[in-house]
Chain A
Amino acid sequence: MRHLMNPLDFTVEELDRLFDLAGDIAADPAKYAHACAGKKLATCFYEPSTRTRLSFEAAMLNLGGSVLGFSDAASSSASKGESVSDTIRIISCYADICAMRHPKEGAPMVAASRSGIPVINAGDGGHQHPTQTLTDLMTIRALKGRLGGFTIGLCGDLKFGRTVHSLIAALIRYPGIRFVFISPPELKVPDYITDQLKELGIGYEEVIRLEDSIADLDLLYMTRVQRERFFNEEDYVRLKDFYILNNEKMALAKEDMLVLHPLPRVNEISVEVDDDPRAVYFKQAQYGVYVRMALILTLLEITV
């Protein structure tokens, strides 16, 4: 029995198979409509996350399975002090697979070690959110036709952004990737990541302004720059416009550059960009459902 705790749990070859399956699901959803008939997914969400939870539920429903679960800790037995280990032992009696989100880092791993069913980490604090990374990779592969051989710009909060760190770790396994890190100096990518890139001989540069580098990019991964991350209001006001993507900056980009965003977006991408065919962040949500469907089938060892 396998679990998914970290996006690197799967080898590149295993991910290829997963993405092939997700691609097949996207091409012919009807073929998979009853693949999980009689199976149940438990969504154990100890903190609210509408998007991720609904994406998992949609994935299971699309496969003909059913879902049960809770959407915040207050409505679970955790509010009575039950441990994650005990909860998963009980859930294992009710469901066939579990997606767990928890504010404490490592909680899904503790659950997996005691579980009788596959556990998917649906986000644990600031630690890992592997299905977001799988969604990002799937979107890139589906729309670019490959994972590798491109320059990707990561823009915004690169210091605290969990999705950014996981995506970098996943992408460095593919050949020919070059990174451009676009962030204010306060929110630069952590040293341990740049040290690793240097060790592996992977090219990267760090810039402050998006418009200075957008013309070089094949992919642009946007994230939110939060006001509270800045040391003072003056710096925030001075820098924030550098990280807002609008049509003016899009005009500088390549015709086939893709814009991704893990969502929710606040104001870092102007609404005017939504109609640009290069803006694929809403398609990303759709690919997220396909990749979760493929993941559920893979972990349940169901073939169609």
Chain B
Amino acid sequence: MLNVGKIEEGFVLDHIEAGKSLSIYHHLQLDKLDCTVAIIKNARSNKMGKKDILKVECDIDTLDLDVLAFIDHNITVNVIKDGEIVDKKVLTLPKEIRNIIKCKNPRCITSIEQELPHIFVLADEQKEIYRCKYCEEKASESTYAW
């Protein structure tokens, strides 16, 4: 078993679906932060069998967790200060996501006006349905591009 040490301040993102940690690393734009990041893939989990974990040592205000809720709101977010868990954040689906996914509807205005932000709005919280703000096309794996 691989051991990764404690962090003093930052986040531990636990219960990430196995294999998704790199995608989350990318969408949290961790590559642009000058901080220590540990990506743990395929860790053993009683609950999930296998899971990924991300440990990010950074100021706790620097991360936009909205995107995390959109990707998978079952992820556990542990907030760490002075080496201890001080908070567990509950992720809720953001009302709106901006420039996280792109609308792939060829009839959408965003297909020809490149400078427009790609905005998706939470249309149905229960069914977790997001729709493009402009053309109302439903966001699904086949209709959007990361």
Q: Give me the interface of A with B, judged by CB distance under 8 Å.
A: 83-85, 102-107, 109-110, 124-127
Q: In the complex the two chains form, is A102's CB within 8 Å of B109's CB? A: yes
Centre residue among A109, A126, A127 by max chain B CB count within 10 A: A127
Q: In the complex the two chains form, is B116's CB within 8 Å of A104's CB? A: no
Q: Would you give the shortest CB distance from A194 to chain B, in whole angstroms?
A: 15
Question: Is B29 an interface position by the 8 A CB rule?
Answer: no
Contacts of A125 in B (CB 8 A): 107, 135
Closest Cβ neighbor of A102 among chain B residues: B109
Q: In the complex the two chains form, is A83's CB within 8 Å of B107's CB? A: no
Closest Cβ neighbor of B137 among chain A residues: A105
Complex Cα–Cα for A85 and B115 (A): 10
Complex Cα–Cα for A124 and B111 (A): 14
Contacts of B113 in A (CB 8 A): 83-85, 110
Complex Cα–Cα for A110 and B108 (A): 11
The B84-116 residues at the A interface (CB cut-off 8 A) are 105, 107-113, 115-116
Partner of B107, one of A84, A109, A110, A126: A126
Contacts of B115 in A (CB 8 A): 83
10 closest cross-chain pairs (CB), A and B: A106-B134, A105-B135, A104-B109, A106-B109, A107-B109, A125-B107, A106-B135, A105-B107, A83-B113, A105-B108
Contacts of B133 in A (CB 8 A): 106, 109
Having A105-B108, A127-B135, one finds 4 other A-B pairs with CB under 8 Å, namely A83-B115, A103-B107, A110-B134, A124-B135
Complex Cα–Cα for A84 and B111 (A): 13
Question: Is B132 an interface position by the 8 A CB rule?
Answer: yes
Complex Cα–Cα for A7 and B55 (A): 48
Measured as residues with beta carbon below 8 angstroms from the partner, the interface class of chain B is 10 to 19
Closest Cβ neighbor of A127 among chain B residues: B135
Q: In the complex the two chains form, is A106's CB within 8 Å of B112's CB? A: no
Closest Cβ neighbor of A195 among chain B residues: B127
Q: In the complex the two chains form, is B111's CB within 8 Å of A104's CB? A: yes
Question: Is B59 an interface position by the 8 A CB rule?
Answer: no
16 residue pairs A–B, Cβ–Cβ below 8 Å: A83-B115, A84-B109, A84-B113, A102-B109, A104-B107, A104-B109, A104-B111, A104-B112, A105-B108, A105-B136, A106-B110, A106-B134, A109-B109, A110-B113, A127-B135, A127-B136
Closest Cβ neighbor of B135 among chain A residues: A105
Centre residue among B112, B133, B137 by max chain A CB count within 10 A: B112
Complex Cα–Cα for A127 and B110 (A): 14
Complex Cα–Cα for A223 and B25 (A): 50
Centre residue among A103, A106, A125 by max chain B CB count within 10 A: A106
Complex Cα–Cα for A110 and B134 (A): 8
Complex Cα–Cα for A107 and B107 (A): 10
Complex Cα–Cα for A179 and B137 (A): 25
Complex Cα–Cα for A49 and B136 (A): 23
The B34-85 residues at the A interface (CB cut-off 8 A) are none
Contacts of A124 in B (CB 8 A): 109, 135
Contacts of B109 in A (CB 8 A): 84, 102, 104-107, 109-110, 124
Q: Would you give the shortest CB distance from A152 to chain B, in whole angstroms?
A: 24
Contacts of A104 in B (CB 8 A): 107-109, 111-112
Closest Cβ neighbor of A107 among chain B residues: B109
Contacts of B107 in A (CB 8 A): 103-105, 125-127
Complex Cα–Cα for A52 and B133 (A): 25
Q: Would you give the shortest CB distance from A51 to chain B, in whole angstroms?
A: 21
Contacts of A105 in B (CB 8 A): 105, 107-109, 134-137
Q: Would you give the shortest CB distance from A156 to chain B, in whole angstroms?
A: 22
Q: Would you give the shortest CB distance from A45 to chain B, in whole angstroms?
A: 16
Contacts of B111 in A (CB 8 A): 104
